[in-house]
Chains A and B, each alone.
Chain A
Amino acid sequence: MSKRITLKDLDAYYGSFRAVEGVTLTIEPRSVTAFIGPSGCGKSTLLRTLNRMHEVVPGARVEGEVLLDGRDLYAPGVDPVLVRRQVGMVFQRPNPFPTMTIRENVLAGVKLNNRRIAKADAEELTERSLRGANLWNEVKDRLNLPANGLSGGQQQRLCIARAIAVQPEVLLMDEPCSALDPISTLAIEDLIEELKQDYTIVIVTHNMQQASRVSDRTAFFNIAGTGTPGRLIEYDDTRVMFSRPSAQATEDYVSGRFG
Chain B
Amino acid sequence: MRSPRRLGDRLFSSGALAAGLLILVVLAAVAIFLVAQSLPALTAGGTDLPAGFTSFWSYVLPLVFGTVWAAVLALVIAVPLSLGVALFLSHYAPRRTARALGAVIDLLAAVPSVVFGLWGITVLAPFVQPFYTFLSAAFGWIPLLAGPVSGTGRTILTVAVVLAVMITPIITALTREIFLQTPRLNEEAALALGATRWEMIRIAVLPFGLPGMVSAAMLGLGRALGETMAVAMVLSPSVVVSFFLLRSENPTTIAANIALNFPDSYGSGINVLIATGLALFVLTFVVNAVARAVVGRRGGGKGL
Contacts and interface: CB of A to CB of B under 8 A. Distances in A.
Contacts of A91: 185, 188-189, 192
A153 interface: no
Given A97-B203, A97-B204, A97-B207, A109 B185 contact: no
B207 A99 contact: yes
> What secondary structure prevails in chain A residues at the interface with B?
loop
A113 B195 CA distance: 7
Given A99-B207, A112-B199, A56 B194 contact: no
B192 A89 contact: yes
What bracket does the count of chain B residues touching chain A fall in?
20 to 34
B99 interface: no
Contacts of B81: none
A256 interface: no
Which of B195, B207, B208, B299: most chain A Cβ within 10 A?
B195
A223 interface: no
A81 interface: yes
Interface stretch (A4-12, A158-166, A198-206): A158-166
Interface in A46-102: 51, 53, 56, 58, 81-82, 84-85, 88-89, 91, 93, 95-100
B92 to A, nearest CB: 13
Interface of B is mostly: helix
Contacts of A112: 193-196, 199
A88 B203 contact: no
Contact of A159 (B189, B196, B203): B189
Contacts of B191: 53, 56, 84
Interface in B182-214: 183, 185-186, 188-196, 199, 203-204, 207-208, 210
Contacts of A53: 188, 191-192
14 contacts: A81-B194, A81-B195, A82-B194, A84-B192, A84-B194, A85-B194, A88-B192, A91-B185, A95-B186, A97-B203, A99-B210, A108-B190, A109-B194, A112-B194
Interface of A: 51, 53, 56, 58, 81-82, 84-85, 88-89, 91, 93, 95-100, 108-109, 112-113, 146, 159, 162-163, 166
| The 3 residue pairs across chains A and B that have the minimum distance between CB atoms | A85-B194, A109-B193, A99-B207
Interface of B: 95, 183, 185-186, 188-196, 199, 203-204, 207-208, 210, 299
